[in-house]
Amino acid sequence: MLVLGTRLKETPVMSLQTGTRLAMTGTPLINPANLKIIAFELEGPLLTEKPSFLRVADIRELSGVGMIIDSSDELLALDDVIKIKELYELRFKLIGMNVIDEHKKKLGKVDNYTVETGSFVIEQLNVKHGILRGLTDTGILIHRSQITEINDDAIIVKSTAKKISAEPIMETARHTYVNPFRHPAPQPEQTDV
């Protein structure tokens, strides 16, 4: 199922063991190498460790009541998993990142993203244009296959613009197209009988 990334923020984390809410999801920890959500930072008064995290691998189900996990044993501290600590210290924020094409043309900023909830892989980026273009345009969707690079400054995507050849298109068409009605075909000789 595809959902917007903002829908996953402030989602209740429910314990299957006790049937109660343990916490609420906060900022997702996104791996910029593959655009996959690894874990969610958690918020709430029942947490013993600050900050606490929930790995997406420990989520049994995402339903209308929230993210369902087995028990509070699934909640992790910062030092429990090395990869979570690395991503937390990286402080990668997808929302608000600049998006440019391969020709350095700015397309806008990431406003939201679409997540496939089975694997928690980000499938699409919702990009909003600047204020002036934003008045007339609604923005663009960029599929993950269009992304060529993610660096500290921006997300670089494949350009949709085609290169213009040095030779005019019409000149090329004139040389390759032969109109059969303009050039007379050789006629067989007529003989008078």
Residue 172 lies inside a defined structural domain of this protein: no
Tell me the residue range of the domain where 81 lies.
2-90
Same domain (yes/no): 75, 108: no
Give the Cα separation of 125 and 154 in Å (integer).
13
Determine phi and psi for 83, rounding to 5 degrees.
Answer: -65, -40
Residue-by-residue pLDDT tens, the chain, 193 positions:
899 999 999 999 999 999 899 999 999 999 999 999 999 999 999 898 999 999 999 999 998 899 999 999 999 999 999 999 999 999 999 999 999 999 999 999 999 999 999 999 999 999 998 766 555 567 899 999 999 999 988 999 998 755 544 444 444 444 555 555 555 556 666 666 5
Give the Cα separation of 21 and 46 in Å (integer).
9
Residue 20 lies inside a defined structural domain of this protein: yes
Total number of domains in the chain: 2
Q: Residue 59: name the closest of 44, 43, 76, 45 by CA.
A: 76
Q: What is the pTM of this model?
A: 0.76
Same domain (yes/no): 62, 137: no
Domain of residue 140, CATH code = 2.30.30.240
Determine phi and psi for 180, rounding to 5 degrees.
Answer: -70, -20
